[in-house]
Amino acid sequence: MIPANFNYHKATTLKEAIALSQELGEEAKYMSGGHSLLPMMKLRFATPEHIIDISKINGLSYIKEEGDLLKIGALTTQSELEHNDLLKKSYPIFGDAVWLTADPSVRNFGTIGGNIAHGDAANDQPALMLALRATIIAEGVDGKKSISIDDFFHGFYMTALEFGDILTEIQIPKTKKNSGGAYHKVERKVGDYATAGVAVHVELDDDGICQEIGIGLTNVSAVPMRLERGEEILRGKKITDDLIEQLGVIASEDCEPESDLRGSEAYKRSIVNTITKRMLNKALERARK
Amino acid sequence: MFKCKTSPEVGGMGHSVKRKEDARFLHGKGKYTDDVKLPGMLHMVIVRSPYAYAKILSINKEKALAIDGVLAVITGEDLAQYNLHWMPTLLSDSQMVLPTDTVMHQSQEVCAVIATDRYIAVDGAEAVDVQYEPMKAIVNPFKALDEDAPLLRPDKEGQKDNHIYHWERGEREKTDAAIAAADVVVKERIHLPRIHVASIETCGVVASYDKDTEKMLIYLTSQAPHAIRTILALVAGHVGLSEEKIRIIAPDIGGGFGGKVPVYPGYVIAIAASFLIGKPVKWIEDRSENLVNGFARDYHMDCELAATKDGKIQAFKVSTLADHGYTDSSANPSKYPTGMFSICTGSYDYEHAFAELDAVYTNKAPGGVAYRCSFRVTEAVHAIERMVDKLAAEIGKDPAQLRFENFIKKEDFPYASPLGWSYDSGDYKQTLEKAMDMIGYADYKKEQAEKRAQGKLMGIGICTFTEVVGAGPSKDFDILGIKMFDSAEIRVHPTGKALARFGTKSQGQGHETTYAQILAEELGIPYTDIEIDEGDTDTAPYGLGTYASRSTPTAGAAAAIAARKLRDKGKKIAAHLLEVSEEDIEWEVGKYFVKGAPEKSKTIQDVAFAAYTNFPEGMEPGFEATHYYDPPNLTFPNGAYICVVEVEEETGAIDVKRFVAIDDCGNIINPMIVEGQIHGGLTQGIAPAMYEGIVYDDEGNVLNGTLMDYLVPTAVESPHWETGHTITPSPHHPLGAKGVAESPTVGAPPAIANAIIDALYPLGIKHLDIPITPDKVWDAIQVAKAKA
């Protein structure tokens, strides 16, 4: 449980961090909260030569609404998400998720940017980002770029971020009236990664017709998964019990879980079915408030 | 009910005084083995096998030795030069310290790196290049005896297959005949998987050999330092380690639970390294090493319970296959290779029983380390308590009623069990009635009927267990020939304060408080004036240590008797001081007085002072006493636990709504400490029932070797424990006390399992092995539905 030797570099500005990465080369790794990276290093699954600590870069920790967008700085910690008044009031899906992520001491260090940039389908934030139709803002050698969440996750621990890129901000369409989101995951014990998790965000019009919907799944596929076929059957429709049932079946069919210590494939598909329906109902309840 | 004889200031039995040791623990000032830092100390890290069964082709040390600060890489070949590469286990098997040619389980020690600091040692271990030739491992114990199974232990003379031993107790023919003739027979194969002790402190050692004095000082995470010293002297005598030259100090210990009874190869390597190098060597296990090595349980039990059609139990038979890994390293008394498993007849009165067990070798870590189980009582109680519930379900009788009709009656104690125990005392009926009252059993039965009518799954589970602890009487109990007594030595100083030393060793049980309270009870000296010291073999009296809930039954009794010896001496001194004859002196807690003239008295402190300053002519000066207690019998604590659960059919989620635990451990020394023990033990009981179990794949790889996947429950998973007690004093223990610590780990798993299976019964599910997890429940429901 002791990592291999590495060199530690602390960056205080984005520019400095990006320059360091260019100088140190591909054996350098950015670290924000470190709560995914450090355990991998301690188990020697990861042995980076250089760590560039970006956790102290100023100005990357904020939660604010600007124009049509909710903007969250990448270095915002999970516990800041948990205790933020704006999120509590208008985006309760964050509270649902963060409350179920790891434990308070990890949440004090772990950042939203790190949780997404790690590219792990077992993390909770990716499903939220898919459901909330987020845009990822990153900065690299060639300046700023903006990446749709649909194009962000490429594979196991692989994302659209290129070498030297730092995820700086998450942009989410501002919540409208008659909209609501919810997240739940089944875990084996407190602090566990999800056996399966589902994030749903729904937007209704005044007649209760579904205008927009996003559904993201946690840890039931190699890459964080958007449930597109499920979204399609609801978009533009009045959401009936029958449609909710259909959605559950689609979710259980389209997810790609594997049997492991968390349960059989069939069990996980069934769990996805159940929580997808429950989260849609919870999201609808919040939207109708 | 127990009535306190002492004031709260004196703090004798029955007072919930706060634990004396907690101030240092709560302030982070405990001194554990890893806190020991000696000048020039070196650090050791072990290289472990990635394979469950493999030939070692080569071990290349070069790259490791090239690292600045790496001093040595010790291999089995190196130890073989001193004949230290194998060591005996407590039950006459043998275990590799380091292998010379073959590794027998995943994570087995392969070689050890010694370096100037731990970080360098870990880098050194990474740099050692070991070449293996993997072989097909035996993982399933049922395949270990197949004809084509490879012979795992060709090193053992006369070993023709992978069978280790056969054990049996009771009357096979009569039991078989009773089962054959019975109206009702319920059968089940019950598996209790390997679980891990997961103590907060892992195992470790600091060995420091002084070449000039030839003394070997060893700081060790040991529950039994005296016995370990003797074993070391026996094992390493040939290289010059003689018992009087070995000093073992067990400092503060952060949880033992049985995992700190054995001698692990790491200890021996570090001791050998210090002996050879002449410098202190520290080895501290990391969490993953700790998680993949020690384990408990792994019994596959074929059970048959026979009864009349109205539920009178007639016979119980259990045939067990025990997976011991590659060596039998059980830390059991010599004559009890299966521990106290023969307590499996339970709390019920019937005539015929038979238990047998076959132990086999597999490619898994050495077997038989206990986990808070009182020597295999957990397995035994799970077997009988599951079967009793199964019988109740089979004949459609309330499981509480079935128990009442079969309980050993209060007036039948001492009770001779069919498998040879003499139960000392109990009032099982009262204990179960109390549990039923406390939980509101009748109301829950009604609620369950209503819920079932609505198609909801609700279950009520009972466990009425009998434990057997406090090993043990010298005629039957020994470890390597050393009888299982325990000891207390009391010195009362001239000022009336005292120091008492014991052969046991606390790992968190609160001995510094409990023992002081026993002495306060017997002597009237306030418990705060009494220092308790354990764990140093140079200063403490010899004892067999703390495990299997034996400290209060053995060393606690020794304390009481040693104190009574002191009181007898004190009586003579008091007579001398009060100028009356000894016959005229009477005792009440804390003072001697003249019969009929209570104003003429001397306190215990006066008497202690006089023992050094003004003792009667001809009397040996001083105020000290020692007692080595050889218990006449074991103690049989018992309890009634009731659990209520709800299961969600759609997801398999299990919600433990209530859990009531009524324990009877005889007279209670410190009720708060006992309640703490029960709370901890219940949580360690829900652990194997619903969360824990070491999982192997077909190649013998441990799949859950970190705390990310080995699910130790937390406060969040623990239901609100509701506890209570009945008191049936032990008739043979000087304080009427019994052991208690393991009752909850023994009693909780079957109560929980019974509740969950009761909830699932309407679906046709009649048994599930623990751990019963939501996914296992869900899978079982699908199978049951497909059948229906």
The ipTM, to two decimals, is 0.96
Residue with tokens 């080895």: B283
Q: Is B372 a catalytic residue?
A: yes
Cα B559 from chain centroid? 22
Q: Confidence class of residue B1 from pLDDT cuts 50, 70 and 90?
A: low
Q: How many CB pairs under 8 A join A and B?
A: 55
Q: Confidence class of residue B367 from pLDDT cuts 50, 70 and 90?
A: confident
Q: Which two tokens stand for residue B59?
A: 């071990």
Catalytic one of B19, B48, B169, B372: B372
CB contact under 8 A, A266 and B779: yes
User: What are the helix (H) ranges across B407-548?
Assistant: 428-439, 441-453, 511-523
Q: Confidence class of residue B459 from pLDDT cuts 50, 70 and 90?
A: very high
Looking at residue B91, its pLDDT comes to 84
Residues of A in contact with B774 (CB under 8 A): 186, 263
Contact with chain A for residue B707, Cβ under 8 A: no
Instruction: Give Cα separations from A271 to A222, A262, B4, B612, B631 (angstroms).
Output: 17, 11, 55, 76, 55
Contact B197, B372 (CB under 8 A): yes
**In chain B, where the domains are located:** 22-30+486-629, 33-135+203-284, 299-471+633-787
The pLDDT of residue B181 is above 70: yes
Contact B506, B566 (CB under 8 A): no
The pLDDT of residue B294 is above 70: no
Question: What one-letter code names the amino acid at A219?
Answer: N
**pTM to 2 decimals?**
0.97
Looking at residue B2, its pLDDT comes to 74
Q: Which two tokens stand for residue B140?
A: 């399933």
Contact with chain A for residue B172, Cβ under 8 A: no
Question: What one-letter code names the amino acid at B615?
Answer: F
The DSSP bridge pattern shows strands A50-53 and A7-10 to be parallel
CB contact under 8 A, A4 and B717: no
Which positions of chain A have pLDDT values less than 70? none
Task: Return the CATH fold of B22-30+486-629.
Answer: Aldehyde Oxidoreductase; domain 4 (3.30.365)
- Return the exposure string of B703-714: e unless at least 16 CB atoms fall within 10 Å of the residue's CB, then b: ebbeeebbbbbe
Distance CA B701, CA B363 (A): 10
Percent of chain B past pLDDT 70, that is, above it, reads 100
Distance CA B352, CA B343 (A): 13
B316 - beta bridge partners? B305, B353
Min distance B711 CA to chain A CA atoms (Å) = 7
Cα A174 from chain centroid? 17
pLDDT tens for each residue of A244-278: 999 999 999 999 999 999 999 999 999 999 999 99
Least confident of A130-134, B130-134, B259-263, B440-444: B259-263
CATH number for the region B299-471+633-787 comes to 3.30.365.10
Determine the residue among A261, A272, A273 to mutate to test chain B binding: the one whose Cβ has the most chain B Cβ atoms within 10 Å: A261
CB contact under 8 A, B775 and A189: no
Q: Is there a shared CATH topology between the B22-30+486-629 domain and the B299-471+633-787 domain?
A: yes
Looking at residue B384, its pLDDT comes to 98
- Considering only CB atoms, A261 lies closest to which of B703, B714, B716, namely B703
Q: Is B373 a catalytic residue?
A: yes
Contact with chain B for residue A212, Cβ under 8 A: no
Distance CA A197, CA A193 (A): 9
Catalytic one of B534, B624, B646, B742: B742
Catalytic one of B373, B463, B643, B665: B373
What secondary structure does DSSP assign to B310-328, as a single string? T--EEEEEEEEEEE-TTSB
Domain B33-135+203-284 has CATH 3.90.1170.50: yes
Contact with chain B for residue A2, Cβ under 8 A: yes
Q: Which of B556, B490, B567 is nearest to B529 (CA)?
A: B490
Q: Under DSSP, is residue B87 helix (H, G, I), strand (E, B) or coil? A: strand
What strands, in cross-sheet order, belong to the sheet with B352-360?
Answer: B163-170, B352-360, B313-323, B299-307, B184-192
Closest Cα in chain B to A263: B775
Residues of A in contact with B122 (CB under 8 A): 2
Q: Under DSSP, is residue A188 helix (H, G, I), strand (E, B) or coil? A: coil
Contact with chain A for residue B717, Cβ under 8 A: yes
Contact B540, B533 (CB under 8 A): yes
Q: Which of A204, A207, A208, A210 is nearest to A236 (CA)?
A: A210
> What residues have CB less than 8 Å from B747, skipping those under 6 apart?
B381, B463, B465, B467, B639, B641, B661, B685
What are the structural domains, with CATH classification, of chain A? 7-53 (3.30.43.10), 63-173 (3.30.465.10), 179-287 (3.30.390.50)
